[in-house]
Structure formats: C-alpha cells, structure tokens
Structure 1
Amino acid sequence: MTERTSPTFRQRIGYICGATLPAAMSDWVRNDLIGPGAVRRYLMRFLIPVIPVLCLFLLIPGPKWMGVAMMALLYLPLIYFTLALMYVYRRHRLIKHGLDPTLAESGVNQQRAEAERQAYEHRHGRA
C-alpha cells in the first residue's frame, strides 16, 4: 500500500485549522504554501470564513449602512493584518511541517526579482 501524497478531505480541514500533515505529503504542503496560487489560497482561508459571522451585524435594528459600517470596521483591519502576517504564517507552517523556512522568503524574493527583471527588460526594450 502506497502512502498518499495529497490529503483527504478530513486531513485538509485539519490542515486548514492548523494540524500537521504526514511527512509523505510535504511536497503538497510546500506547493500549498509557496506554489502558484498560494497567496490566493491563503487569503481565501482567512477572509472568506469570517463573512457569515460579520453578516450578523446586518441583523441589528437600524439603518443597513450602520451594519455595513460595523462590518467594514472589523473586516478592513482583518485584510490588512492578514496581508501583513502572510510571510510569518508561511514560515511557521513550513517549520511545523519540517520544511526549510527559507522557502517562504525565497518564494517572495523570486517573484519580486522576476517582476523587477521583466520591468527592466520592458523599460530598456528587451521584451
């Protein structure tokens, strides 16, 4: 019997909630944290689940703009801190799964370096 290289539904839910996956799934974890679409997945995991809870503010009696304003008062800082702590979160998850924490940094630096290289080539007519 071969070991799974991707998590089951139950393992994914546990992983999203902070559980550690088996070592056989480290490639999947690495791809999830620093692969293509990692930022989108990270933001979705933190920002979407809070929306139903924030919608409870719409049930408060009064004008609807008041409920929306209260939601925004909580949601906007959540977006800011979620973005600000993305590197810290990735690094923590990599360490927790026994992977090299510098991978979190290298993914960001590689993307930045690639964008700078493309901008340079475009500015100087090499693209």
Structure 2
Amino acid sequence: MTERATPTLAQRIGYACGRTLPASLTQWVREDLTGPGATRRYLMRILIPIIPVLMLFLLVPGPIWMGLAMMALLYLPLIYFTVALTNVYRRNRLITHGLDPELADARAKSRAEAERLAYERRHGRA
C-alpha cells in the first residue's frame, strides 16, 4: 500500500481545527505552512468559517445596520489579530509537526539576503 501525499478530507478538517497530521504527511504540512499561498490559506481557514456564526446577529430584532455593526465589532478585531499572529501560528504548527520553526522565516530571510547582496553590489562592497 502506498503512502498518501495529501491528507484525506477527515485529516484536512482535523488539521484545520488544530490536530497534528501523521509523520507521512510532513512534507505536505511543510509546504502548506511555508509554501506559496501559506498566509492566504491561513487567513481563509480562520476568517471564512466564522462568517455563518456571525450572521446570527442579523436575526437580532431591529434595524439591519445594528446586526451588521455587531458583526463588525467582532470580525474586525478578529481580522487584525489573525493577521498579527500569522507568524506565531505558523511557527507553532511547524513545532507541533516536528519541523524546524525557522522554516517560517526562510523565505523572508532569503529575500533579505538577496537584497543585501544587491545593495553591496550596487555600492561597491561586494
């Protein structure tokens, strides 16, 4: 029997809820947390599922703007803190899956190194 390269639907749902995937899916987890679109996927996992719950405020008697205002009072800080804690979340998920937390910053570090080398070449220090 061959090992799956991607998680099953049940594993994906568990992963989105914070469960740890089996070691055979470590490469998938690494790509999910550090690959292209990782931040977008993280934001979608947090911000989209809460919308139906917040829509319950639209059932509150009164003008529609009041329900929308109550939704905004909860959703806007959620967006702010979700974005602010992206790197913390990513590092924690890497650690729980047995990966190096420094992988979360690898892309930014390589970009900064390339900029530093370009700067040194432009200004005659290389």
TM-score bracket, normalised by the shorter chain, equals: 0.7 to 0.9
Q: Provide the identity percentage.
A: 69
For the structure 1 residues 108 and 53, does the alpha-carbon distance in structure 2 shift closer, same or farther, using more than 3 Å as the test? farther
Provide the aligned C-alpha RMSD in A. Answer: 1.9
Show the counterpart of 2:84.
84
Give the distance between the partners of 1:79 and 1:40, measured in 2 at CA. 12
Report the residue type matching 1:72 in the other structure: A
| Length, aligned pairs only | 118
Give the Å deviation of 1:5: 1.8
Show the counterpart of 1:73.
73
Give the Å deviation of 1:108: 3.7
Give the distance between the partners of 1:110 and 1:30, measured in 2 at CA. 17
User: Does residue 1:56 correspond to 2:56, yes or no?
Assistant: yes
Contiguous gaps of at least 5 residues in structure 1: none
Give SS of 1:4's match: coil
TM-score (norm 1): 0.85
Deviations 1:15-70 (A, max 9, x none): 11111111111110011001011111000000001100111111111111111111
Report the residue type matching 1:39 in the other structure: T
For the structure 1 residues 108 and 82, does the alpha-carbon distance in structure 2 shift closer, same or farther, using more than 3 Å as the test? farther
Show the counterpart of 2:36.
36
Give the distance between the partners of 2:18 and 2:108, measured in 1 at CA. 22
